[in-house]
Amino acid sequence: MYGTPSGGIQQEEKAEFGSAIAGGMTSRGSDMTGRTPMEVELRDTRFHQALLGEWFGTTAFVFFLVLSIMTADGDPVRIGLVAGLSFFCLVYMLASVSAAHFNPAVTFGMWASRRITGLRAACYVLFQLLGAMTGAALAQSVSRSMFRGVNGGVNALASGVSTGSAFWIELLGTLFLVMAVLAASDSELGAQWPYRRVLIPMEVGFTIFLAHVVLIPFTGCSINPARSFGTAVVGHYWRQHWVWWVAPFVGALTASLLYSVVFFANEAPKEEFSVEEGRREEGKSGVGRMFSRTRGEQGNRVGTDRSGVGGMSTSSG
């Protein structure tokens, strides 16, 4: 899942522009075409396919989730299973098309980690919101009375849960999800342990399942602004709606910084250092080595295809 399968378009941009590509963020080289990287992306049919993939995937996820809320009598395990299994299936189905974000918080975290372009992030969020509204409307069309009986499946604070508590647990839930996504979409880890690629849909599905089982009794479990927005639009319920946007985005940003600064550094074994490097590194802490040694390596790595799901997909969106 997750990330953007932009390896193909990035390779094309490298060939066309001779440009330096950083996680989908490109800069023009000495090309003679006069076209900017944004124009290349906009003209690529796979980019438009990716947008439709995000719309379709978010539609399906919200549709199945709301139907489960309508029929589960508040059972968090049943709702969590539907959420996790639907993501599991959708990742297998659409990871090679759009990398299967289906969540503005995930898209924001990937953009903050410089794995996708700002243009792709903005367009993904727009189509995710449209998909969430479509999914909620389809669920309403199945049974309006049952839909109204659960207020459209909107997120709401449980009795005794304060706004501050809801904000905190939604932030932590989203942080946990985006951390899982960033690890899953790290192609360097995928290259070191190729078997991880097969397990990516399962990893994400279990993460979604766990988050829903734990958070539903408190907030109904958002960790996805599109899911909250779509049900709020169709269900006409906007109370504390800002929580379902701000908390996930803060959680996604925190996860991006945490993974990029703390867990992304991958130091070589000490015996691989030269004597001169060993002298330079002597006395430095792990964080000091990370910033002094790996900054250039990180810059090089983001120039490679790190936006696919653990290397799961290599075609462009």
Q: Which amino acid is at 92?
A: Y
Instruction: Report the mean per-residue pLDDT for the chain.
Output: 78
Beta bridge partners of 26: 21
Q: Is the pLDDT of residue 1 over 70?
A: no
pLDDT of residue 261: 84
**Contact partners, residue 79, CB within 8 Å, separation at least 6:** 65, 68, 69, 72, 212, 216
Q: Is the pLDDT of residue 175 over 60?
A: yes
92 within 8 A of 201, measured Cβ to Cβ? yes
Domain spanning 7-302: which CATH class is it, in words? mainly alpha
pLDDT band at 190 (very low <50, low <70, confident <90, very high): low
In residues, how long is the chain? Answer: 317
| pLDDT over 90, % of the chain | 56
Q: Which of the residue ranges 37-46, 178-187, 261-270, 307-316 would you say has the lowest mean pLDDT?
A: 307-316
Residues 149-164 have pLDDT tens digits of: 999 999 999 999 999 9
Q: Is the pLDDT of residue 315 over 80?
A: no
pTM: 0.74
Instruction: Name the range with the highest mean pLDDT among 20-24, 173-177, 201-205.
Output: 173-177
Per domain, the residue ranges of the chain are 7-302
Please indicate whether residue 158 or residue 297 has the higher confidence score (pLDDT).
158
Residues 73-116 have pLDDT tens digits of: 889 999 999 999 999 999 989 988 998 999 999 999 999 988 89
